[in-house]
Structure formats: structure tokens, C-alpha cells
A and B are shown apart, each in its own frame.
Chain A
């Protein structure tokens, strides 16, 4: 088969997927981009939609509250994905050891991830509850605190508490991928290294980590994209409070659209968030390609 017909065959086979993706992703995205350059609003009346150029973007990027929210979202993303990565690999290492009841642990560890985000958020809100939350009761009985504390009521602390809830929900996914990758490491390789005198850390650092880094990058990309557009867990746990301390960028998109009814402006906020996500994805891809060349 010639190279040209092979290439055509690829396009023919890809066509259905491209068509479906265009309809459900590309077209709405282009429409959002177009809307972001207009003064469109949500209204049941006839409206004259005007092209206003970059005005929405200038507005969004000079909105000190939105810029603060972008910084907050970045913090949320870096800390939660970072913790999920470290915790996920650590748990995977543990689950990769031979011990009695391992199969049971491997099954139940996925539970937090299987629970819907909304349910997880409600559960953690109850755990953090200032009056009858389990966290207060536990820490008080262990003697770590003297009186009940308001975990989600303190603006400096609330975001970290939400991050903890998010990490709890999502680290099992990272752990599973890491575990699957670790199981493909030939046992001989690790044994040989041990015989040669490599300690546990050396074996992890020189064999395990390089072996699993590809799959880890993929799962961390997925988590980064999700974390950067975080909305549901915050909507349920704090609704952006206290004093906007947990209001993330996606919350502003939602607010511009559905609370303030400015669809044009809301679209520009959404495009900014999508643009930053795209930069993050490209950075990861660059990381993966470098890794593949290195391997």
C-alpha cells in the first residue's frame, strides 16, 4: 500500500470521531470564543448583540477579584495535584508489596474515587462541621485542639481544607495507574539491583520512577485539567466563601453567566480559563516528549 493511500485510510477511519468531536466540542468552543467578543446577555427579550472587540477581555483581566481567583485556582491545582501524585505513588508502592489482605485493600482504596464529587463534598462538609463534625471530635479527643474549630470558616484555612477533600477523592486514581505501571516492571530487574547493593530509595529513584513516569504524566495531565476548572466541590462545600477565600476561576465564569447574566463577559472569563489550561497541557506534553526522547 502506498504512503498516500495509507494516509487517506487513516483520515477515513478517524472521520467519525472527528465529526462527533467537532459537533460536541469544537463548535461550542468556537461559539464561546465568538460570544466572548460581544456584549451578549442572557435575556428572554429580543437583543441586539454587538461586536465589542477585546473589551470583555480587558474587563476580565483588570478585574482584581478575578485575577485573585486565578492565583487561587493555580494554588489549588498545584497543591492538590502535587499531593495526589505523591500520595498516589506512595500508596501504589505499598499495594505493590506482598502481604495478607492485599487484594481487599486494593479493592476498597478505589472507593473514594468511585463516590460522586457532590456526595464526597457533602460528606466532607459534615466532617468539617464546626459543631458536630467528626474532625473536631477526633482532634479534641486526641488532644490536638482545645475547643471546636471552624475549619471552613477561616479564609486562610478553608481552601486547604477543600484541597484535602479533593485529594482524598482523587488520589486513588493516581494510585491505580501507578500500581498498574509498577506491575509491568520486571521483577528480575529489581532483584538484580538489590543484589548489586542498591537500597530501597536507589531502586525507587533509578528503576521504579523512570519506569512509571510516562503513565504518571498522563494521569497528572488529566488531574491538572480537572483541578484547574474545579467548581462542583467548591460550590457544595463553601459556595466560594468565606469572604471569597475559595472562589476559583470557574466560579467566576458561572457567576458572570448565571448570576449576573452577562454571557459575553462570562464567555471571555471561560476562554481565559481554557487558555491557561491549554498552556498547562502543552507544558506536560513537552515534558512527555522529552521523556520519550530520553528513554
Chain B
């Protein structure tokens, strides 16, 4: 009797579980926990997706940007237990596509989207004429300045060239307004390469020419010299060599810097009185150019959402990606990350309260410069990181550093 009851209970429990499993799909999604959309943003976007799609649940995982690439690779061998949606950086599609880590979604993207989304955003997900996801975070680094410090220094207009940035910084330092007017994220990391790329673009340089390193001379060398000069003259905060983006935000928010380079997300956070002592005293503009070479400079720091090739739920994953990237979702959460949609930039939901950011974006998006689009990018970047960092630490001259890096890049297998 007892045994029968037990069996009946077990059987019905098993039946329940099976039907639950049939009805529900759980998507595993991987995001990063810094810059761009906040974790709270992504959680509420996900909640509205789940509400509209009963039967699909999304498990979110957040990791630091520095762990994102290796996490995606490590999960590629996990079969059905890997991720269904991953956030990936503009520098990885070449590698991920060549090795088959991401699903080719060219056929899933509606044809009319091509012209509605910025070209710079599309390059984030494209490789060899195919699309490996949807662009999501259209981002570049802007120059932020403290309007109060500039006013106290008697500076009426923010700098129009990188040379002027140093001149104004010198005035500010000489007047004793802050000890180090400039702050950057120059730790040995991708964050430093982004600033280096911006400066290289401003000075008209390039990374590769015909597959061969071209960064030993010209604009790239000028960029490194600029970085070294700003450190040597005591204008750049020397702790920048240990900083990531969040450190830059903290120093700038404390009023300890007059100029800072950072992504879109910093604009709303430095203007939030709960997060910042300089709220309301912040200007944001496109990174400037170099006299006679460029008007403005920017690095393409966009990111996209893709479906790993081992995902067993590609259709549901694509629905989730569409929900995150669609125009209305992006306009609702436009204060930490600007939309990929051209039409959004005339919507008051996006522009209200951040007119100067949108104006800067307009200028920057047009000149966004890519980091090298090669399958071995990760290795190229870590070689550059080592040698640039060594040179910024005054261990080598800029010539030596770039020549050593080029030699090492030529040795990549």
C-alpha cells in the first residue's frame, strides 16, 4: 500500500517535471559587469522579455570585461550546457568566425535593418561579408572635462586639438587647481589600447599596412610620444598606469582631474549627485583631432550580441537578442549606452538631458577607427600592451618599444 502510494507520487512528479521541461527553455546569457548598460538595466530588459515570452527563461551571468573573451572560448566546448547568448567585443569577430565559435546569422537579419543602423555598429558583428550577431552597444571614448576647473583656470573654450589639451592642462596645473589634470585607463590592458588607438587615429597613423606592422613610425609613434610627454610633464596622473575605466570615473567624479577619456556610460554617472562630486559641472565632447590631420578622433569600442555555435536554442536566443537590440528597448535605456539606430538620435527620449553627449556621438561615430581586424588580434594586442606599458613606465623609448612590438608581432605563429 505504502509502496504503491510512493510509486504513484514518484510517477506524477516525474510527469510534472517532464511537462515543465517541455514548456520551458532556459537561455544562458553572458554579459559584462562594467561600462555601458548596468546590470540593473539588463535585468529589467530581460524581465520584459520573459514577460512577453512565457516559457522562455533567461539566466544572466555577468563577468568583468577582462574575463569575457576567455569565458566564451572555455564554454565553447561545453556542448548543450554552454551559453545561448554572448556579448562580444568588436575585436573578436574575426577570430570567433574563423574558428566557428559564433553562429552565422546573416540570414536572420532583416534586409531593411542594414540602412537603419550605423555602419560603425555593423562592423562590430561583421567578418568576411557575413554577420555573426546584432550590434548592441555603439560606443566610443569621449573627452570629458570639468567645466568648473576650466572656468577657474580662465579657459573659455574646451580644447580643439590634442596639443591644446596639454596646453590647457599645463595652465590648470600651474595654477594649482589639480595636481594631475589628465586621467586615463593606461593599465596593461585593452583599455590602454583603446586610448592608444584614439590617439593613433588622431595623428593619422595605422596599425597594419598590407598585413605588415605599420605602427613603428608615423601616427602611432606620435601617439605614444604624446602619451609619454603627458606623463613626463606631470600632466597625466601617474596612477593612470594602474587604472581601468572605473578608476578613471572615480578620480574624475572626485574632482581630482580636469580631463578624462571614458566611454558613454560615464556621462550619466558623473552627473549623478549620488555617484559624483562634480555633478552638473561636466562637459563631454568628441576626442579632439590634430592640427592639419584630423578634426576629431574616436576608437570603435562597440559590442554585439551573438549566438555561440553550440547553443541548442538558437531561435529563442535570436528572439532575446532582437528584444535587447530593438529600437524601443535601446531608447528606453539610452542614458548609459546610446542606440545603434540612426532614427533614435532625433528622439527626445534619447536626447533630452544629454544633448551634448548626443552631439559628440554624432561627430565621433562618423570617425570611429577600428583596432586591427585580424584573427590573431588578442595576441597582437597583448604584445602592444606589454611594450607600450614598458615605454610609458620609461623603461624604453617609443622607438624601441614599437620596434620590439613589431618584431614580436612578426613572430606570431
Instruction: Please tell me if A169 contacts chain B, counting CB pairs below 8 Å.
Output: no
List the A side residues contacting B379 at CB < 8 Å: 259-260
A154 touches B393 (CB 8 A): yes
List the A side residues contacting B408 at CB < 8 Å: 65
B389 touches A243 (CB 8 A): yes
6 residue pairs bridging A and B, Cβ less than 8 Å apart: A44-B310, A131-B239, A150-B238, A153-B241, A242-B242, A258-B70
A260 touches B70 (CB 8 A): no
Instruction: Please tell me if B100 contacts chain A, counting CB pairs below 8 Å.
Output: yes
Instruction: State how many angstroms separate the Cβ of B406 from the closest Cβ of chain A.
Output: 15
Instruction: State how many angstroms separate the Cβ of B69 from the closest Cβ of chain A.
Output: 7
Instruction: Please tell me if A45 contacts chain B, counting CB pairs below 8 Å.
Output: yes
Q: Give bound CA distance, A244 to B404, whole Å.
A: 14
Instruction: State how many angstroms separate the Cβ of A256 from the closest Cβ of chain B.
Output: 10
Size bin of chain A's contact surface:
20 to 34
Instruction: State how many angstroms separate the Cβ of A269 from the closest Cβ of chain B.
Output: 13
- Contacting A at CB under 8 A, from B392-413, are 393, 395, 408, 413
Q: Give bound CA distance, A214 to B46, whole Å.
A: 59
Q: Give bound CA distance, A212 to B413, whole Å.
A: 51
Instruction: Please tell me if A292 contacts chain B, counting CB pairs below 8 Å.
Output: no
Q: Which residue of B lies closest to A55 (CB)?
A: B413
Instruction: Please tell me if A82 contacts chain B, counting CB pairs below 8 Å.
Output: no
Instruction: Please tell me if A241 contacts chain B, counting CB pairs below 8 Å.
Output: yes
A44 touches B242 (CB 8 A): no
A241 touches B239 (CB 8 A): no
A258 touches B74 (CB 8 A): yes
List the B side residues contacting A154 at CB < 8 Å: 393
Instruction: State how many angstroms separate the Cβ of B46 from the closest Cβ of chain A.
Output: 26
Q: Which residue of A lies closest to B187 (CB)?
A: A241
Instruction: Please tell me if A255 contacts chain B, counting CB pairs below 8 Å.
Output: yes
Instruction: State how many angstroms separate the Cβ of A247 from the closest Cβ of chain B.
Output: 8
Given contacts A44-B76, A153-B241, A259-B70, 12 further A-B contacts (CB under 8 A): A43-B100, A44-B101, A45-B100, A150-B242, A239-B66, A241-B187, A243-B386, A243-B389, A243-B390, A243-B395, A261-B95, A262-B413
Instruction: Please tell me if A240 contacts chain B, counting CB pairs below 8 Å.
Output: yes
B395 touches A42 (CB 8 A): no
B76 touches A42 (CB 8 A): yes
Instruction: State how many angstroms separate the Cβ of A190 from the closest Cβ of chain B.
Output: 50
Binding site for A on B (CB under 8 A): 66, 69-70, 73-74, 76-77, 95, 99-101, 187-189, 238-239, 241-242, 251, 309-310, 376, 378-379, 382, 385-387, 389-390, 393, 395, 408, 413
What's the dominant secondary structure at chain A's contact region?
loop
B395 touches A153 (CB 8 A): no
Instruction: Please tell me if A248 contacts chain B, counting CB pairs below 8 Å.
Output: no
A261-B390 CB under 8 A given contacts A44-B101, A242-B188:
no
Closest 7 CB pairs of A and B: A241-B188, A243-B390, A44-B100, A45-B100, A43-B99, A243-B389, A258-B70
List the A side residues contacting B389 at CB < 8 Å: 241-244
Instruction: State how many angstroms separate the Cβ of B189 from the closest Cβ of chain A.
Output: 7
List the A side residues contacting B77 at CB < 8 Å: 42
Instruction: State how many angstroms separate the Cβ of A16 from the closest Cβ of chain B.
Output: 30
Against B, the Cβ 8 Å flags (1 = close, 0 = not) of A149-173 are 0101111000000000000000000
A259 touches B76 (CB 8 A): no
Q: Give bound CA distance, A242 to B390, whole Å.
A: 7
Instruction: Please tell me if A215 contacts chain B, counting CB pairs below 8 Å.
Output: no
Instruction: Please tell me if A265 contacts chain B, counting CB pairs below 8 Å.
Output: yes
Against B, the Cβ 8 Å flags (1 = close, 0 = not) of A245-270 are 00000000001001111100100000
Q: Give bound CA distance, A260 to B385, whole Å.
A: 15
Q: Give bound CA distance, A153 to B390, whole Å.
A: 11
Against B, the Cβ 8 Å flags (1 = close, 0 = not) of A90-101 are 000000000000
Q: Give bound CA distance, A153 to B393, whole Å.
A: 9
A239 touches B189 (CB 8 A): yes
Q: Give bound CA distance, A239 to B189, whole Å.
A: 9
Q: Which residue of A lies closest to B411 (CB)?
A: A63
B188 touches A261 (CB 8 A): no
Q: Chain A CB within 10 Å — which of B95, B187, B376, B408 has the most?
A: B187
Q: Chain A CB within 10 Å — which of B74, B251, B386 has the most?
A: B386
List the A side residues contacting B395 at CB < 8 Å: 155, 243
Q: Give bound CA distance, A265 to B376, whole Å.
A: 15
Instruction: State how many angstroms separate the Cβ of A195 from the closest Cβ of chain B.
Output: 58
Q: Give bound CA distance, A259 to B378, whole Å.
A: 7
- Contacting B at CB under 8 A, from A30-78, are 41-45, 59, 65
Q: Give bound CA distance, A241 to B387, whole Å.
A: 11
List the A side residues contacting B239 at CB < 8 Å: 130-131, 150, 153
Q: Give bound CA distance, A262 to B73, whole Å.
A: 12
